[in-house]
Chain A
Amino acid sequence: MSEETKSNKFSRRKFVKGIGSSIAGGYILSPAIAKAAKKISKEAKDFSEGKVPLSLKVNESVINVMIEPRTTLAELLRDELKLTGTKVVCNHGECGGCTVLLNNKAVYSCHLLALDAAGKDVTTIEGLSSNGKLHKIQQAFVDEDGLQCGFCTPGQVMAAAALLYKYSKPDKQQIMKEMSGNLCRCAAYPNIIKSVLSAVEKSNG
């Protein structure tokens, strides 16, 4: 991803130039520091009132942005970083459609403030495949037809990926329990179970 597409107004270059490189460690600057930075930076007029800086890793890239504190992780991913693979279905932490990995654990990104991901590693559906090759869990969803409309699928796949971090050899009951926070209105559930089982088999094969 190019620097230009990472965020709309606040590219990493601009940001670092504006307030220095001290946030590279991933700490959030307090609004007061941000305010001070505003005074010293020519470009700081871009900084809307009430925005705070955030640094985190998304799909192994360091991201520095200015966001409103109320921004959810899902909004950061979709609206600021244009990573639209993550879907928002309920926006209330009720369905799992927006599931991403935070330090390799499944979280509902609509239900987490982006600031809570400061300094952490976020993996989205876009970051799961590598070198153009689908992750084994993604391939299993294709092979076993673990989807219909596909809208909840990124969330399902990320939940399954987290499951594989948690258990090396989950059984069907564990799979169903761990995947039960991800709703699928098309109800492709039987094939979702098959997909995860098949990925598990292949990892242990």
Chain B
Amino acid sequence: MTRKIVKSKYHFEPDLIETIGEVSIEEIKPWGSNDELKIIGKPTSRIDGAVKVSGEAVYTSDVILPNMVYAKILRSPHPNAQIKNIDTSEAEQLEGVLYILTYKNAPEIGWYYNTSYLFDKQVRYQGDEVACVAAESEKIAEDALHLIKVEYENLPFVTDAVEALKDNSPKVHEWGNLPRGNPDKYKRGDVEKGLKEADLVIEDTFTTQVVVHNTTEPHCSVAKWEGSKLTVWDSTQAIFNVRDSIAASLQIPASSVRVIKKYMGGGFGSKLEAGKYSVIAALISRKIKRPVKIVLDRREENLAVGNRPNSIQTLKAGVKKDGTLTALSHHSIGSIGAYPDGAGCSWPLRTIYKCENVSTEEYSVFTNTGKSRAYRAPGHVQGTFGLESLIDIAAEKIGMDPLEFRLKNYTDKDQVYNIPYTSKKLKDAYEKGANAIGWHRRNKVPGSSNGILKRGIGMATQIWWGGGGPPAYATLKLNRDGSVNVMAGTQDLGTGTYTFIAQVASEVLQLPIEKISITIGDTETCPYCGASGGSTTAASVAPAVRDAAEQMKAKLISGAAAILETSEEKLIYAEGIISVKNDPSKKITIHEIISKMRERVLVTTGARSANPEGYMINTFGAQFAEVEVDTFTGKVRVIKIVAAHDIGRVLNPKTLENQFHGGIIQGLGYALMEERKVDSNTGKVLTANLYSYLIPTIMDTPEIEVIIVSEGDSMISSVGAKGVGEPAIIPTAAAIAHAVYNAIGVRIKSLPITPDKVLNALTLIKR
């Protein structure tokens, strides 16, 4: 198959990225609904399951190298301070201490879009890096941190985004508290005109909290030099991003850096960028000529490696009596912490419903707190809570069923780019989800059920990108013994990447999955794939694997034709054996073909095809929640979640359901308990551990029913898969909040819905 290099576009989260990628010219016919697939779409146990349950899987934090040393980072205890001096002399005296890096001896490496340095004299949040000690053991490194004397000059600080927008607020950066000096604005049509046309205008404010990823495996890195070549084992969702960042920081060619990530203990968006710890490990390792390992601890995880920004969202809707939306506007403020990032959350409002007149204004505000990072559907989780709450209120105000209201404003065209979707099965999701939860059972009058324990049902809609796109490549090696290696520079976050790659190769080559081994997460041995974020991994990588496998099949058929002295058209391929159609006695196995060749390994490289021009690729879904509210204690218990989604083709229902469970339960944590709290008087985080930062436990597990309403989307690729990871979490909190309203009859507009908020809300009713 010949190749060409083409331009293509795809959405990585809100960013429409134009890419240049190599694709195969001959298009592979997409799998259709009539194709009988043997392993794709069938429940398949994850192929890395056994090594994970036996403790054999070596994660980055488990890597032990000969002569390796350990490093620990000293972090600022203050939210805003100037370092006047650092005295490391006492720490250096401690036996076992090998090297200490501070702003005094570290190279000036720009960080956070050059708004700071790797080690800066100015620290801007509790957790900013101040020094790093390398020592013979992690304990000695920790002990040494206590011996470093830092003289700080404390400066005024601000931890609240609304406060930070005021003129007299302390400035996190000299130029102000907005990264670009202005809010981000979007507009289509004329909102004022739309509001005038409305029978009813609804305005309300909703708030959401900061939440922290708290991945189980801390952010960590092991760096080792061999001559001028650096190898970094990194707990990352994006091996090539990390490689490029480290190379740029050290001013060495990217080809001199190899990044490896085999298994990772969770990312959820917090591991998409290179950490300072990776560069620090590389710098110290180069200096002391020994491998260096840095593993952050739980406190650092809660302070310094990202979070989902909070939001204060004020929304306005113009509605006609028949339910037509005439205008939508959105104003949001969110804290991005001390360095540039984004806290916008208006995309659901721009895209879910048909509406001509829309405006949004997003303020992403610096505060003296830990920087935000992408967290599983950044913006959409908070934005969906705001929008869907407003939609619920609007439906109620005009006396319409909330589901009917949503159908009334349904759109078959993307509202921002005004182009059709490749596929959209949201109507089916609404219908099947409503049936599964028993939508008719909800309280017709919210709060009208009797008793102390009140039940309610609510729902919310989900939209996200997740179509993936080029460039993504996979190299397939067929060995003489008939075994297969697939190499792809992608990552498995626990999402089942290893398994779906093996499934695709197994499906095409009709070989047992046990014959297929996978190498991913290595920038040196694997061809390029993008970061595992934006729910793009399966959608991008699976078609590349299929392409490689189809090419291999074609190659084998050509080999069989040569050896059997017949034409390729007369041959059929089945389960690793190629035979002549009308004469089954004439056949040859893969093993026999390769054995007859001098090169005893056959190699192909497949590529993801380009996305179709003029179409939007989105995932859609609806989640329905049933909750029980204890009106004595204020505690909300989620009884059941129904998740009905359009995510294209299901590759592996077993890992897919699991991923939905996970997203939903994380969404439940966001709805009911998780919150990073910062004391505004001291600027310190009050919840920097898993005792005070509550995440869901097994006891919080509701019944979950996952319904997939979609088949393969043949317009996007030969595999037709879209992403799952982010769609799973997006509507959960909104659905739970609406169910709480349906149960108690008073709407809680601030997440998390903790018992105190419920009890306060109930007090309002009693009055």
Contacts and interface: CB of A to CB of B under 8 A. Distances in A.
Contacts of A83: 55
Nearest to A190: B661
A148 B494 contact: yes
Interface of A: 68, 70, 75, 78-79, 82-92, 94-95, 97, 124-126, 128-129, 134, 138-139, 141-143, 145, 147-154, 157, 176-177, 179-180, 182-193
B654 interface: yes
Looking at B54, B215, B662, which has the most chain A CB atoms within 10 Å of its CB? Answer: B54
Q: How large is the interface on B (under 10, 10 to 19, 20 to 34, 35 or more residues)?
A: 35 or more
Given A87-B217, A149-B264, A187 B699 contact: no
14 contacts: A78-B62, A85-B54, A90-B689, A138-B53, A139-B53, A142-B45, A148-B659, A149-B493, A150-B52, A151-B264, A154-B53, A176-B701, A179-B698, A190-B661
A105 to B, nearest CB: 19
Interface string B34-63: 000000000001101110111111110110
A126 B298 contact: no
A147 B265 contact: no
Nearest to B265: A151
Contacts of B643: none
Given A87-B216, A150-B265, A186-B494, A134 B655 contact: no
Given A124-B55, A148-B662, A90 B690 contact: yes
Contact of B691 (A70, A94, A129): A94
- 4 nearest interchain CB pairs? A85-B55, A151-B265, A149-B494, A150-B52
Given A79-B138, A92-B689, A185 B659 contact: no
Nearest to A154: B55
B216 A185 contact: yes
A82 B62 CA distance: 9
Interface in B207-237: 213-218
A193 B698 contact: yes
B55 A84 contact: yes
A87 B213 CA distance: 18
A190 B701 contact: yes
Contacts of B137: 79
Interface string B501-521: 000000000000000000000
Contact of B53 (A94, A95, A142, A183): A142
Contacts of A75: 139
A94 B690 contact: yes
A85 B297 contact: no
B689 A141 contact: no
B585 to A, nearest CB: 41
A150 B689 contact: no
A187 B45 CA distance: 18
Given A79-B137, A94-B690, A193-B701, A150 B57 contact: yes
Given A151-B215, A182-B698, 7 more contacts: A91-B298, A94-B690, A145-B658, A147-B46, A149-B215, A187-B665, A189-B696
Among B216, B658, B695, chain A packs the most CB atoms within 10 A around the CB of B216
B263 interface: yes
Interface string B594-610: 00000000000000000
B53 A89 contact: no
Contact of B654 (A87, A124, A145, A189): A145
Interface of chain A, main secondary structure: loop
A180 B216 contact: no
A145 B655 contact: yes
B215 A180 contact: no
A141 B49 contact: yes
B393 interface: no
B269 interface: no
Contacts of A84: 55, 58-59, 62, 64
B673 to A, nearest CB: 12
A88 B265 CA distance: 11
Given A134-B53, A149-B264, A89 B298 contact: yes
A171 B493 CA distance: 32
Nearest to A78: B62
A187 B266 contact: no
Nearest to A97: B216
A46 to B, nearest CB: 14
A53 B496 CA distance: 44
B86 interface: no
A145 B690 contact: no
Contacts of A143: 45
B666 interface: yes
Given A92-B298, A152-B216, A141 B690 contact: no
A124 B48 CA distance: 20
A185 B698 CA distance: 10
| Most chain A CB within a 10 A radius of its CB, from B49, B59, B666, B691 | B49
A91 B495 contact: no
A149 B263 CA distance: 8
A153 B662 contact: no
